Amino acid sequence: MQNTVSGFSKLSKSEKIDWIVATYFSKNNNARTVLEQYWNSNSKLQQLHDEFIENTITNFYLPFGVAPNFLINGKSYTIPMTIEESSVVAAASKAAKFWYSRGGFKAEVISTKKIGQVHFTYDGSSTELNTFINTIHSKFFSETASITRSMEKRGGGILDIKLNDKSDDLDNYFQLHATFETMDAMGANFINSCLEQFAKTLKREASTNLKGNLEIIMSILSNYVPECLVRAEVSCNISELNENRNLQPEAFAEKFVQAVKIAEIEPYRAVTHNKGIMNGIDAVILATGNDFRAVEAGVHAFASRNGRYSSLTHAEIKGDRFRFWMDIPLALGTVGGLTSLHPLVKLALEMLGRPSARELMQIVAVAGLAQNFAALRSLTTTGIQEGHMKMHLMNILNQFEATPEEKDKLVAYFKTNTVTHSAVSETLNRLRQSN
Ligand code: HMG
Give the C-alpha separation, 15 to 18, whole Å.
5
pLDDT at 227 over 60: yes
Residue nearest to atom 50 of ligand 1 (CA): 276
Q: What is the pLDDT of residue 388?
A: 81
Tens of pLDDT, residue by residue over 293-305, are: 999 999 999 999 9
304 in the same domain as 195: no
Q: Identify the CATH number of the domain in which residue 301 sits.
A: 3.90.770.10
241 in the same domain as 366: yes
Catalytic residue numbers? 85, 275, 291, 388
For the chain, the domain total comes to 4
Strand partners for 328: 230
129 in the same domain as 104: no
DSSP letter assigned to residue 332: -
Question: Looking at 341, 356, 382, which one is the last position of a domain?
Answer: 382
368 in the same domain as 246: yes
Q: What is the pLDDT of residue 384?
A: 85
Tens of pLDDT, residue by residue over 330-371, are: 999 999 888 989 999 999 999 999 999 999 999 999 999 999
Strand partners for 119: 175, 218
Mean per-residue pLDDT over the chain, rounded: 96
Residue with more model confidence, 231 or 28: 231
Strand partners for 66: 80
Question: Looking at 382, 399, 420, which one is the last position of a domain?
Answer: 382
Domain assignment present for 322: yes
Mean pLDDT of 65-74: 98
Ligand 1 nearest-atom number relative to CA 386: 37
Domain assignment present for 182: yes
346 in the same domain as 251: yes
Tens of pLDDT, residue by residue over 232-272, are: 999 999 999 988 777 899 999 999 999 999 999 999 999 99
- Predicted confidence band of residue 2 (pLDDT cuts 50, 70, 90): low
Asked if residue 91 has its Cβ within 6 Å of ligand 1, the reply is yes
Give the C-alpha separation, 107 to 364, whole Å.
10
From residue 410, alpha-carbon distances to 73, 224, 303, 397, 426 in Å are 41, 47, 42, 9, 11
Rounded to the nearest whole angstrom, what is the distance from the C-alpha of residue 374 to the centroid of ligand 1?
Answer: 7
Domain containing residue 297: 64-108+230-382
Residue nearest to atom 49 of ligand 1 (CA): 276
Asked if residue 272 has its Cβ within 6 Å of ligand 1, the reply is yes
Closest CA to 196 of 178, 173, 212, 174: 178
Strand partners for 220: 117
pLDDT at 220 over 90: yes
214 in the same domain as 121: yes
377 in the same domain as 249: yes
Mean pLDDT of 160-174: 98
Ligand 1 nearest-atom number relative to CA 96: 16
149 in the same domain as 118: yes
Mean pLDDT of 426-432: 95
198 in the same domain as 160: yes
Domain assignment present for 372: yes
Residue nearest to atom 22 of ligand 1 (CA): 90
Q: Identify the CATH number of the domain in which residue 147 sits.
A: 3.30.70.420
- Predicted confidence band of residue 1 (pLDDT cuts 50, 70, 90): low
Question: Looking at 197, 222, 247, which one is the last position of a domain?
Answer: 222
Rounded to the nearest whole angstrom, what is the distance from the C-alpha of residue 288 to the centroid of ligand 1?
Answer: 22
Mean pLDDT of 100-113: 97
